Amino acid sequence: MHWATAKLITLDRVEGFLAQGWARHSDVAFAEKAKVLRRELPPHVVGAYDQLKTTHKEPVVGVFQEKCGGCHASLSSAALARLSEDNEACHCEHCGRFIYLAGGHNLTPSDQSHQLTGGHGRR
């Protein structure tokens, strides 16, 4: 997982806790954590995250079974390859949310094809 994506996940959870009032006795600590995370992230990533929050309840979502956890659209092999390369924070090519490989999923598309077919090419 790209470092910026990991920080976005944490930021989204911290701000979610604050918005829902779940951090009542720790509001100051959670608010400070959110400020620190925002300073650590590149400005263009924070800007994209803030924009996504205006249109999506969950701006950062996992990818499950090669589908975006937000819009549930299937991702292209190119998008899955970008996620596996771990070089940048990635967006869903359909809804624009930040996406990450969830549930221990860390196979590249070619590895998935190989695993599903027992190494004998495509199904």
Q: What is the CATH number of the domain that holds 40?
A: 1.10.287.1490
Q: Model confidence over 2-25: pLDDT tens digits? A: 899 999 999 999 998 888 877 666
Residue 52, in any domain of the structure? yes
Q: What percent of the chain has pLDDT over 90?
A: 63
Q: Is residue 122 part of a domain?
A: no
The answer as to whether 62 is a domain residue is yes
Residue 13 CB burial class (10 angstroms; 0-12, 13-18, ≥19): middle
Pull the structure tokens for residue 94. 């359909």
Residue 19 lies in a domain: yes
Q: Would you list the DSSP string of 15-80?
A: HHHHHHTTTGGGHHHHHHHHHHHHHHS-HHHHHHHHHHHHH-S-SEEEEETTEETTT-PBPPHHHH
Mean pLDDT of 76-88: 90
- Which residues touch 64 (CB under 8 Å, ≥6 apart)? 102, 103, 105
- 35-57 pLDDT, tens digit per residue, is 999 999 999 999 999 999 999 99
110 within a domain of the structure (yes/no) = yes
Can you tell me whether residue 101 is helix, strand or coil?
Answer: strand
Question: What pLDDT does residue 79 have?
Answer: 93
121 located within any domain? no
> What distance in Å separates the CA atoms of residue 81 and residue 90, rounded to the nearest whole number?
10
Q: Which domain holds residue 87?
A: 3-116
How many structural domains are present in the chain? Answer: 1
pTM summary value: 0.78
Whether 42 maps to a domain, the answer reads yes
Q: Is 80 contained in some domain?
A: yes
